[in-house]
Amino acid sequence: MSRFEEVTDRTGTRSVKWDRSKLLFTGEDILPMWVADMDFKSPQPVLDAISERAQHGIFGYTLPDDEVHTTIQNWLNRRHGWDIDTEWISYSPGVVPSLYMMIQAFTEENDGVLIQTPVYAPFFDVIKRHNRKLVTNELKRNDTSYEIDFEDFEEKIVSNDVKAFILCNPHNPVGRVWTEEELQRMADICLKHDVVIFSDEIHADIILPGHKHVPIATLSDRINKQTITCLSPTKTFNLAGLQASYIVTADAEKKKQLDEQFKNNGMGMLNIFGLTALEAAYQHGEAWLEELNETLESHRDYVTERFHKELEGVTVIRQEGTYLMWIDFSGTGLSHQKLKDYMETEARVGLNDGKWFGEGGEGFLRMNLACPRKTLEDGVERIVQAFKRL
């Protein structure tokens, strides 16, 4: 049996995905396929490293050292061809807290901040909670994929005096892995209008075969110094509960500003087990990751084929990266609210509400494919039979 076929019972573990589903969804026997963590065990070397650290028995104040810095440096170089200086690295409990620090450090109240919708909902929160002006560049639907409206992108920046752009690459939820050409055009516009780029690349390692992740900061020295990049092993190796991420900032003055903002908010130290897991995953988890991405490709193709053959009015957006599938149910004729209700009460599957992702989300639901094949097939079968009855 493949390590990605093993079914592990997560109920009763305080799991947001499994235990909170009873509070979030109506209906009985809901199968949760929503929040972005995986139902796969982390790589064995990570489990071993955590166990060994736990057996030490002392959990005092702990800071990353040169070995951790170098481990990150080597990973980015090996996986993404990005040669960073270890002096560029800062640490954070998560990408969302990092975005909060960036907004505080590099923008002022009422400044325009641009995002591309539909997009990960906390992007909206980080802008609104800090009284910044929310500016949206809606992605253009192109059959079973999405592309960027570059004219609108630049017009929105100019007309709203945008100071910062939050990039999502790979994009959650539409699953695009932006090409070098697309990234270059966005970066050129940002340089032209002096817009700082906050790049959320937490899904950088979850790239399906046939696609390649390009960190936007690698495009040129100027772009590198205009960009602050958020990264983490947590999505890659299913470590979200350990809260360990890092930020790469090449511009010395920007890094100083950001580090000061973290200090001003009392944030300066990571979880001891998060650091342990990060190091072990990046040093010993590569073979596991390769198998994961092949598994996710198989899962994507299975769901796409089943829905295409058996469901009318349902379109699967072709996924290039992440383990999250963006599905258009608008052709079923159901209103958005009825769609949600039907999915929960009739299919008994818990998916993310498309409206959570902003403009362009109505009629859509997001499905998490990072689960054992048996779980995936159960969820797909529930959906297929429910919508056939409809």
pLDDT tens-place string over residues 94-122: 999 999 999 999 999 999 999 999 999 99
Based on the domain organization, do 151 and 215 belong to the same domain? yes
Question: What's the pLDDT tens digit per position in 328-339?
Answer: 999 999 999 999
Summarize pLDDT for 137-190 with one digit per residue, the tens: 999 999 999 999 999 999 999 999 999 999 999 999 999 999 999 999 999 999
Q: Give the tokens for residue 351.
A: 């998916």
For residue 334, report the phi and psi dihedrals to the nearest 5 degrees: -85, 145
Residue range of the domain that includes 140:
57-284
Residue 143 and residue 220 in one domain:
yes
Q: How many CB atoms lie within 10 A of CB 64?
A: 20
User: Does any domain span residue 10?
Assistant: no
Strand intervals (E) in 213-253: 227-231, 245-249
The answer to whether 215 and 203 have CB atoms below 8 angstroms apart is no
Assign residue 82 the CATH number of its domain.
Answer: 3.40.640.10
Average pLDDT of the residues of the chain: 97
pLDDT in tens, 46-93: 999 999 999 999 999 999 999 999 999 999 999 999 999 999 999 999
Do residues 197 and 87 share a domain?
A: yes
> Are residues 182 and 133 part of one domain?
yes
- Final residue of a structural domain among 237, 265, 284: 284
The answer to whether 47 touches 41, Cβ cutoff 8 Å, is yes
The secondary structure element, H or E, covering residue 145 is strand 145-147
Give CA–CA dist 296/364, Å, rounded: 21
Residues 301 and 381 in one domain: yes
Q: Which of 284, 309, 324 is the last residue of a domain?
A: 284
* Residue 347 located in a structural domain: yes
Closest CA to 283 of 33, 43, 35: 43
- Please tell me the chain's helix, strand, coil percentages from 3-state DSSP, rounded to the nearest 5: 45, 15, 35
237 with 101, same domain?
yes
For residue 390, what pLDDT is reported? 86
Q: What is the pLDDT of residues 163-173, one digit of tens each?
A: 999 999 999 99
pLDDT, residue 1, reads 65
What is the distance between the alpha carbons of residues 30 and 151, in angstroms, rounded to a whole number? 43
* Same domain (yes/no): 155, 171: yes
Q: Which two tokens stand for residue 354?
A: 């498309």
pLDDT at 269 over 90: no
Residue 133, phi then psi, degrees to nearest 5: -85, 120
Could you tell me if 66 and 22 lie in one domain?
Answer: no
Residue at 125 is within a domain: yes
Where is the domain boundary, 284, 302, 319?
Answer: 284
Enumerate the H helices of the chain as residue ranges: 16-19, 21-24, 44-56, 66-80, 95-106, 122-128, 150-159, 180-192, 221-226, 234-237, 252-264, 272-284, 286-310, 336-342, 373-389
Q: What is the amino acid identity at position 317?
A: I
Alpha-carbon gap, residue 293 to 21, rounded angstroms = 26
Domain contains 127: yes
Tell me if 52 is assigned to some domain: no
Residue 297, domain CATH: 3.90.1150.10
Q: Indicate the residue type of 245.
A: S
Indicate the number of domains in the chain.
2
Does residue 9 form part of some domain? Answer: no
- Cα separation, 26 vs 347, whole angstroms: 11
Using pLDDT thresholds of 50, 70 and 90, give the confidence band for residue 27. Answer: confident
What was the pLDDT predicted at 326?
98
Question: pLDDT tens-digit profile of 316-370?
Answer: 999 999 999 999 999 999 999 999 999 999 999 999 999 999 999 999 999 999 9
Between CA 310 and CA 331 the distance in angstroms is 14
Task: Look up residue 324 and give its two tokens.
Answer: 């999250």
For residue 4, tell me if it sits in a domain: no
Q: Are residues 117 and 232 in the same domain?
A: yes
Is residue 257 a part of any domain in this protein?
yes
pTM above 0.95, yes or no: yes
Same domain, 296 and 362: yes
Do 62 and 177 sit in the same domain of this protein? yes
Mean pLDDT of 371-389: 97
Considering the domain architecture, whether residues 200 and 299 belong to the same structural domain is answered as no
**Angle separating helix axes 286-310 and 373-389, nearest 10 degrees:** 20
